[in-house]
Structure 1
Amino acid sequence: MFDELIAAHSHLVEVASRIEVDALDGKASARLVGIGDEIRRTGDSLRTVGVGQVERTNGWKGEGAKSISEWLSSETDCPQYEAQSVVVLANQLQHLPVTQAALRNGTLSNAQAVEVARGAIVAPNTETQLLNLAKHATVRDLRDASSRVVAAATDEAERHRQVHKSRYFKSWTDLDGSFNVKGRMTAANGALVMAALKPIQDQIFKVARKSGEHERPEAYAADALMTLCEKASAIHPSESGTKTSRPNAVINIRVDIDALKRGRTEHGEICEIAGVGPIPVATATEYLGEAFLKLLVIDGVDIKTVAHMGRHIPAPLRTAVEERDRVCQVPTCDTTLGLEIDHIKP
């Protein structure tokens, strides 16, 4: 068995080394990407099921590693977070043979398998549904669907409490002298962070675009964080006698009216922050006290009513469009940041 795999790999490496990439046209290059992805899926699936067996047989012990994920990270030169994700998936696939088969035959990518397994492991009856969704949905849509499955299958208050209990914010200076941060918190608190950063990020993006500069959204987000910190460290408006203007933070919360009345979700009802994920109904209720409310009435997929207590479209219509289209609706454009109402070119 291993002789065949080794021979196939050697042949693959030899063939790949002979490909003259510079001589390929656009169509051939795209085909090469597709072939490469199929090969990657095969390799990822072998690594995933293999590490599961290594853990079950304790094959990683005695190698100097403190855990199976540390062993995998060292053995395959992959980041620790990636190794941890692979180990978690391998353990879940033990109980999800259909998903494991889909991963091994190349139907699912590792990223898709992670999302399918995340939902199916807590609600096995949703495995087929998630597998079917994976055939045509993006990984982002699959992740959203899986998050809803997890939210529906677990006690929302307890899940919220556990995530909050495991919250952290870490910072360190890397070998190249760069300052790095990493954090974990509830989806609701994360939405507050992003709502504070997003308006500033949008302002920075608009100024940069006018000056002809183009950088990654993550770069503008880092600039927005610095601006927020600088404002927090500056003199308080009451002390300086002047007011600083800052765009209002906006959080769109989707919640079924029955769930809002009841205080919890039941039977597929939704309570989530758009683009972030499910939150407890109790958290949504807390936000109602200080919020400027926008009411969005939906019947199936049709938006029936929007009520709010130039180039710009009317505010009620903007709310409807923002809520309906969280991802750019232009074909082939999968952008979620810096969306434009008038984006008409792919």
Structure 2
Amino acid sequence: MSSPATSLAHCERLEVLFGELAELTGQRNAIDGRVVEIVAEIDRDELWAAAGARSVAGLVAWKAGMSPANAEVIATVAHRSEEFPRCTEGLREGRLSLDQVGAIAKRAADGSDEHYAELAASATVTQLRFALKLAPKPKPEPRPEPEVEPEPDHTPEPVPAPEPSISKSTDGECTTWRITLPALEAAKFEAALASHQDALITDWKRDHDTEAADGSGQRPPMPSTADAFLALVEASWDAEASRRPHGQHTTVVAHLDLDKPVAALHLGPLLSDADRRYLTCDATCEVWFERHGQPIGAGRTTRTVSRRLRRALEHRDRTCAVPGCGATRGLHAHHIRHWEDGGPTEMSNLVLLCPYHHRAHHRGLITITGPADSLVVTDGAGRALSSASLARTPTTPPPAVAPYKGPTGERADWWWYEPFQPPPPPSAN
């Protein structure tokens, strides 16, 4: 058992340590507030895309050298900073922590800034999350009741089922298909579509969990109904390839004129330069070479990345080659010197790119030059991209703010969990 003198010394030491901890925590909160201001400006003007990043959170994780989860919190607070001025002001002044404001920005409803700014002065992060969980969800607008038509005096004649039909309309770069099916065929179609979407979502969740575990933080969007429809087309078409003429698969065919170069889809429109290079870069398209309008051969066998070469690329690169990306799923094999410009399909001329950065390169947003062992990636302004963060030894003093007091730590009172009620709308009078 410690003596009273020893306990007094421990208490005095704790007071000194707690004082320094409060000072440093307040300064850290104020620094996080300034970081949020910078990220909010980047988000507002969409400057993250010019830097070669996939999102605001991806840019913060890359440039600040932090985890994707922490970067997501900063991006969320920055995106809603104008909706919660009192909470972000408390962060800049060191009175609130980033985790407190992040919990509010993630779940709080519009117009609740004053309510949660007052609550955060006393509640811990756990209590804030619990209070936000109890907040009422916005009620959906009531649907208008359908008009009831008067019953006819006689029994109506049965309406014949519609004949199956498909129509297509094209408007610029978009094509709209309209499918009309009878009830039974429509039910079969919806069941098949739902089955494929469930399978895609299952794969997406598995990849999502894997990426969350390895810390890459690259989360592709959840598969949509359109993705399920395309999967249904590919599965039903390719499953019976042997029964069709020439055993052809669902391959996109493009015709490339070597003298231009100009490319067009088979029996379709001309391709832009960016789309042409994107389609003919990886093995996703069968290309027919033409000269003076006459086909002279197909170049699929010389352009395709074989399975063995693909495995060697995956072993060497592991992730997207663009610094700061780290994506590991759905990567494309990209020709550094483009294949149509004479670039060989060899390891020294190939790198793996995620679909986002692959398209960004062919659209001129980023530039990739090689060879692969000394790859150089630059953004739209010609600045070389590096995977290192921007962190460096500070040259300015920390912000002068009041020491951080933190939540009171007392037992939660009932008003902490009182859900926020938005003010009633102004009356018409």
- TM-score surpassing 0.5? no
Relative contact order, CA 8 A, sep 6+: which one is greater?
2
Structure with bigger gyration radius: 2
Would you tell me which structure has more helix in proportion to its own residues? 1
Give the TM-score normalised by the residue count of structure 2. Answer: 0.30
